[in-house]
Structure 1
């Protein structure tokens, strides 16, 4: 037999070995995914060098919410007046007629809780913003939590949610800080 013919079975053996190892890695990833949690929690904070009342006004202002809240590919629609418990805000997207919704579940002077349903077919994300401070500076702590239901990828997406979603909240908090600190 020629040298060409003798190397062919060796190449098939190598391909079979690579295919089996790949299948084992994929199977292990799926099995491990069954034991990982699909719920997530993301927290971010910022200190704003303005009084507590000014920060609360910006957080709840119907005309200011869209200025500071970052929505990837869209924005919160403007409205008149301040948001209160039970109020809803619409989220409009640039490239779609589909809209999301933001629903205020609790509003106090020290915390704001709201649920976000980014799109009709997406699960609700629970948000709570805690506000504490004095006449000089205000600490804003924002935390979100939820559960992902995207099949076997859910645990892996939940694992990386802090990094993925965290950037959006950092952007929103920075916009809030800039808006409030630049306002008289």
Structure 2
């Protein structure tokens, strides 16, 4: 009986320590990638602002060829929503809503994941003229991991997990735009 008490209090101590450590761990993450596309800024921005076009270059949209996509509202304007539904775990179920547009410069959106996890993140795509026929495109996603789950954030390496997919998406966008 004494041995079981020691194990119980030992486990309780480990859990308490983890909860205390989580108080001091970061809760926020931000991942961003960029690429230069050899096209004028207006043609690049006018392509990326449409949610339907994002399905053409996004890595996540291309994982499952059977993914069901639906759209609500007027694509390319604030309030437009793109929703997806897939049985593939890496894709899951969720939606993306345009929350702000700075015409020719930046598109902000909210990502609402429903399955396999329930989470909300913010994202953006921005364009910046490098030269008359060159545009720098940045794609970023940031979010908050709630306490006490934030204790896993330093071990998850969100930059590597999300960053490679953002970069591949930008590479796909560049190839598509420069055809």
Q: TM-score range by the shorter chain?
A: 0.7 to 0.9
Q: In 2 relative to 1, CA 25–178 (structure 1 residues): closer, same or farther, beyond 3 Å?
A: farther
Contact in 2 for aligned 1:58/1:176 (Cα 8 Å)? no
TM-score (normalised: structure 2): 0.73
| Structure 2 alignment gaps of length 5 or more | 1-9
SS of 1:166 mapped into structure 2: helix
Q: Which has the higher strand share?
A: 2
Q: C-alpha distance in 1, partners of 2:160/2:145?
A: 15
State the superposition RMSD in angstroms.
Answer: 3.2
Q: How many residues align?
A: 161
| Structure 1 alignment gaps of length 5 or more | 1-19
Structure (1 or 2) with the larger CA radius of gyration? 1
User: Are 2:135 and 1:143 equivalent residues in the alignment?
Assistant: no
Q: In 2 relative to 1, CA 176–76 (structure 1 residues): closer, same or farther, beyond 3 Å?
A: farther
Q: Which residue of 2 aligns with 1:119?
A: 114
Q: Which residue of 2 aligns with 1:17?
A: none
Q: C-alpha distance in 2, partners of 1:104/1:92?
A: 18
User: Are 2:57 and 1:68 equivalent residues in the alignment?
Assistant: yes
Offset at residue 25 of structure 1 (A): 8.1
Contact in 1 for aligned 2:31/2:158 (Cα 8 Å)? yes
Offset at residue 103 of structure 1 (A): 0.1
Q: Which of the numbers 56, 63, 86 marks the counterpart of 1:93?
A: 86
Q: Which residue of 2 aligns with 1:174?
A: 171
Q: C-alpha distance in 2, partners of 1:76/1:69?
A: 15
Contact in 2 for aligned 1:105/1:113 (Cα 8 Å)? yes
Spell out, residue by residue over 1:135-154, the C-alpha distance to the aligned partner (whole angstroms, 9 max, x if none). Answer: 311001122211013x5442
Q: Which residue of 2 aligns with 1:38?
A: 27
